[in-house]
Amino acid sequence: MAKISVKDTELTIVTINDADYICITDLARYKNPEHSDDVVKN
């Protein structure tokens, strides 16, 4: 796993079979730190 920093937020990147995936939970925490699950559900 690698991490990158975007707008002072660390995002996890995972590579599987030469494809890169960004953790949407990390993105949701940026959008709404207290209720990131609501962001992912929507």
pLDDT tens across 1-42, in order?
899 998 888 999 999 999 999 998 888 888 888 988 888 887
Residue 20 DSSP code: E
pLDDT at 18: 93
pTM of the model: 0.66
- Yes or no: say if 23 and 30 are a contact pair by the CB < 8 Å rule: no
What residues contact residue 1 under an 8 Å CB cut-off, 6+ apart? 12, 13, 14
Sign of torsion, CA 16 3 10 7?
negative
Check residue 32 and give its pLDDT: 85
Q: Do the Cβ atoms of 39 and 32 come closer than 8 Å?
A: yes
